[in-house]
Structure 1
Amino acid sequence: MKQYIFLILITVFFITSCKQEKIANKPPNILWLVTEDMGHYIPSFGDSTIVTPHLSKLAKEGVVYPNLHSTSGVCAPSRAAIATGMYPSSIGANHMRTTSYNDVIGIPKYGAVPPAEVKMISELLRKQGYYCSNNYKTDYQFKPPVTAWDESSPYAHWRNRGKDQPFFAVFNFTETHESGLFEPYGFREIETRHYYSGDRNYKWKGFGKSHAKNRMTEAETPVHVSKNTKFKIPPYLQDNEVSQRDLWKLYNNIAEMDKQVGAVLKQLEDDGLLDNTIIFFYGDHGGPMPREKRLIYDSGLKTPMIIRFPDKKNAGIKDGQLLSFVDFAPTLLSLTKQEPKEYMQGQAFLGDFKAKERNYIHAAADRFDGFTDAIRAVKDKQFKYIRNYRPEQAYYLPITYREKIPTMENLLILKNEGKLNEFQMQWFRESKPKEELFDCLNDPFELNNLAENPKYKEKLIELSNEMDRWLSEIKDTPNLPEKELVTKLWNGKKTKPITEDPVVQFENNKVKISCDTEGASIGYKTNPKAKSWSVYSKPFSIESKENLLVKAHRIGYVPSKSIQVNIADLK
């Protein structure tokens, strides 16, 4: 009997060990949950104003990163950094946006043009066999090549991948966006699209309509936060009924976003994928309120990040290292056992190629809609140095979109009536100092400029030198007129460069595809009706009866035409 029990135990141990080894050797799935315009407004980052059960659970089971910074206080430049691992101002992605307000400022529409070897991180993962899906915002400051995603749509989901295929899935939540503060108030979409992701037969009410036309009324909008809650207003805003109402909207939107995050996490758990998925939650930059979004104070740059590892590894830890969005792409490669690319300007903070902790983060602010400034920032764990390249120009930019926020509208009224205090008036100064230095630990709202204080002279010099080093390294020329930037990106030509059409050949019973445009990504379909394009990397076999569809695209260029080839004609 004892021998029988022993054999059972040995068998169970063997099966369990094999299962664990199999899980350990499988490439990890990676899930990104990305919200918009998000400061440290949740309990796991010190703000207990509201309850966020799903994010709080994620934080309890994961690692909290309180020092993540975007490269800009606005989404498109920041998303360019995330997608490429490069600083926006090094590739022409720094102006918000490259395709909007062009008539106003007198330049053609263009896209960022990174060096030829630069690929989107999703394409690099696809080459390693990952199924990459994006649901569904892009906004990278360039048109993504057809090779970027297996699927990028409102239906994109890991559930559409091949059997046992590892995945990199991105879900973008729009409820916390700045426009969620506009009046009339109401959630952007009548239904929670993430509940139905992966089901292409499901049709949402009002699908395809603009967000403005597809809003609930305030009466229809779920109330997650009591309207009687007294919210803490930052000192650069005035505490009155208008700002209190906007803060109520902000927190109510966050609570709805938390509900949607929970829906996606439940799908992951229902699919039995928690044990082999690394989950990231983060925002695309700081908060949506006035003097937050678009600025490079911490209120515009800092955004929360939580990472949950399989088996809840390191659960409950707070990791305070400085992190930047340019670190995301090399970190993804490192987590999938790939060495980060030499062109990447960030560094891995996790995985096999984890680098030494960084000492500084960097950020930039340039054009926003129809108004241009030129500001650069560098920060260590305590101090931030800001250099203003247009000191003669006011801080405040009269951006129409932002002025739809009731608090912003109210601030302008109070300013004209002379009712703002010293701190609230700082943003509206007619000029600004050439240099600013803030102690972000003791002055988190960055209201007391220490640049002229002799006590901090050494820190000022240190950070100024670091900024000079960084600008030289990434070849950033602050205050370069945007028209000259476009000329530089287009190599002196007046029109956007075009990707050459791909050339298809049949050699040694295999299809070989090439493109004369250096750095062009090549996508192909053996079935023209297929939803996604395969990434071409080397010659491949194909049946002669099949037709081949081929397309080439270098980032920042016009894509080539889609070329249809009959394989039988090549033989």
Structure 2
Amino acid sequence: MSDRPNIVLIVGEDIGRIAGCYGDDYVRTPNLDRLAARGCRYDEAYSTYPVCAPSRSTMVTGQYPMRIGTHQMRSTLVHPPRLFTHELRDAGYHVSWPTKLDFNFEPSSDWRDDDEPWVDRLRAGAMPRQPWFAYVNLAITHESSMWPDAGEYADREGLEHWDPRKPRPPRVTEPADVPVPSYLPDTPVVRGDIARHADNIAELDRQVGQILDALDASGQAGNTVVMFLADHGRGLPREKRWPYSTGIHMPLLVSWPGVVEPGSVSDRLVSWVDLAPTFCSIAGAPIPAYYDGAAFLGAAEAPPRDRVFAGRDRMDESFDRVRVVRDRRYHYVRNFYPQIPYCQRNLYMENMPTMQELRRLNAAGELHGTAAIFMPPRKPAEELYDVRTDPECVHDLAGDPDHADVRARMAAELDRFLADIDDLGAYPERDLVAKGLVADRIEEFRARLAPLPPEFQRGYPLAVFEPADLPHAEANTEAGGV
């Protein structure tokens, strides 16, 4: 057995920061709670993007998506970068990565040692004698697993989806028992989606338990770091795809026997851009100087950060550009295209019953208060939220004179960040194609454009695919006054 620790990374899809150990008493997560009891629960951990491919590219490259060109959801880098697994392999680790990649690029062939399932090998004590890194993605909580059971939704237009032929977890959670966030209407449809997600989390938790049991049976638990996290928020409006708290504020549980105190809680700010350097630090591998993040554990642990950054760009066929900076108290959002509504049509998102419910109620004039916050025809240029008193980010303070200094400070911090990374989101995607940075997938996704029914349209009949689609005057209007 190596004196260097093995590493298990478990990623839950579209789960959000929802577990019993985080105070959610309506979900059944004894195994996630067990992992938290064995190690540390991080309370201030953040994805860089509220959607899978940009978020996952951050995890594996240690760089912000808007720096390297993985910021558009469904684009493809022409020249794949090195992954942290290259650094681990160079340091003598065996890398097993059998499940989801989804990095917005295809890694070079030398980034892993095998793509075979490893949990049975672990249980049988058949893992490599050298130190090893093992990854697993648990897909049961993916957005598509919340869609109705009938295949008519899942098969629509050839979308990637949760296969309706696969068995789903039994419906156990009572819709009446789930909390409904204030930015969604409290209706049976919405409660049904949230209850389905809770049942899916229970199945994910069972799978986490199988991994922990296999590790215990292997005899290697005492020399293995186990990390659990999620890529981004639930597949609900204003959660997945949107960089508010519920889109990017994620679970992070880490056990490391003899190093991390069991049952501890950390309020250290952690970004997913810190994951790659942390894995290198744990493994004793050199941390590349070009990484944007810094290690939060291991021999190269760095001082804590005081803010995190996030963004939103094209989501399939729906263009936008949003940037976020968040510190321990405030969450600042800059909408570079306020004329583009939050609720522009996205083919994939339209399958969610909650999204359909929002559109139906809005057309009927039955959305009121914060439940209607996602549906106006325009966005504000800036948003500011005090997350201590408003964790759902529904009470915008950007125009409040009492918070003018905070708004100006957060805006300046975001300006410095964007200048430092040379934010590629500021350049038209066609320019990035012409420069040979990303492959030309423009027509592939433009082909998905279609109008909503007239009664559901807000702002524009079609989703905006690129700034050139906007009227000329509006296309040249960025976030006014910032």
Normalising to structure 2: TM-score of the pair? 0.85
Query: What is the CA–CA distance in structure 1 between the aligned matches of 2:19 and 2:161, rounded to whole Å?
Result: 29
User: Which residue matches 2:253?
Assistant: 306
2:134 counterpart of 1:169: yes
Give the 3 Å change call, closer, same or farther, for CA 266–409 of structure 1 in structure 2: same
Larger radius of gyration: 1
Question: For 1:493-508, what aligned pairs fall within 5 Å after superposition?
Answer: none
Match of 2:96 among 122, 133, 138: 133
Query: What is the CA–CA distance in structure 1 between the aligned matches of 2:299 and 2:171, rounded to whole Å?
Result: 42
| 1:310 Cα deviation after fit | 1.6
2:93 counterpart of 1:93: no
User: Which amino acid in structure 1 is aligned with residue 432 of structure 2?
Assistant: L
Give the 3 Å change call, closer, same or farther, for CA 162–56 of structure 1 in structure 2: closer
Question: For 1:398-547, what aligned pairs fall within 5 Å after superposition?
Answer: 398-490=345-437
User: Which amino acid in structure 2 is aligned with residue 111 of structure 1?
Assistant: L
Give the 3 Å change call, closer, same or farther, for CA 235–213 of structure 1 in structure 2: closer
Give the 3 Å change call, closer, same or farther, for CA 417–479 of structure 1 in structure 2: farther
User: Which residue matches 1:255?
Assistant: 202
Q: RCO higher in 1 or 2 (8 Å CA, sep ≥ 6)?
A: 2
Aligned residues: 431
User: Which residue matches 1:212?
Assistant: 163
2:49 counterpart of 1:124: no
Query: What is the CA–CA distance in structure 2 between the aligned matches of 1:52 and 1:162, rounded to whole Å?
Result: 27
Question: For 1:351-390, what aligned pairs fall within 5 Å after superposition?
Answer: 351-390=298-337
State which drifts further: 230-239 or 162-171.
162-171
CA contact (8 A) 2:53 2:74 kept: yes
Give the 3 Å change call, closer, same or farther, for CA 412–441 of structure 1 in structure 2: same
CA contact (8 A) 1:237 1:424 kept: yes
Match of 1:150 among 87, 106, 113: 113
Query: What is the CA–CA distance in structure 2 between the aligned matches of 1:494 and 1:43, rounded to whole Å?
Result: 44
Structure 2: gaps (5+ residues): 152-159, 442-482
CA contact (8 A) 1:224 1:256 kept: no
Give the 3 Å change call, closer, same or farther, for CA 459–229 of structure 1 in structure 2: same
| 1:215 Cα deviation after fit | 2.1
CA contact (8 A) 1:73 1:286 kept: yes
Q: Deviations over 1:125-144 (max 9, x none)?
A: 11111110113100011001
User: Which residue matches 1:82?
Assistant: 59
Structure 1: gaps (5+ residues): 1-22, 99-109, 187-208, 496-571
Query: What is the CA–CA distance in structure 2 between the aligned matches of 1:153 and 1:281, rounded to whole Å?
Result: 20
User: Which residue matches 1:27?
Assistant: 4
Query: What is the CA–CA distance in structure 2 between the aligned matches of 1:430 and 1:161, rounded to whole Å?
Result: 57
Query: What is the CA–CA distance in structure 2 between the aligned matches of 1:240 and 1:228, rounded to whole Å?
Result: 10
Match of 2:283 among 336, 350, 356: 336
Give the 3 Å change call, closer, same or farther, for CA 494–42 of structure 1 in structure 2: closer
CA contact (8 A) 1:131 1:158 kept: no
Output the aligned Cα RMSD.
2.3
| 1:56 Cα deviation after fit | 0.8
User: Which residue matches 1:111?
Assistant: 77
| 1:113 Cα deviation after fit | 4.4
CA contact (8 A) 2:69 2:424 kept: no
User: Which amino acid in structure 1 is aligned with residue 229 of structure 2?
Assistant: Y
| 1:487 Cα deviation after fit | 2.1
| 1:335 Cα deviation after fit | 1.0
| 1:225 Cα deviation after fit | 2.9
* Secondary structure, aligned partner of 1:318: strand
User: Which residue matches 2:214?
Assistant: 267
Question: For 1:148-297, what aligned pairs fall within 5 Å after superposition?
Answer: 148-154=111-117, 159=122, 163-184=128-149, 211-212=162-163, 214-216=165-167, 221-223=168-170, 225-227=172-174, 229-297=176-244
Query: What is the CA–CA distance in structure 2 between the aligned matches of 1:226 and 1:361, rounded to whole Å?
Result: 34
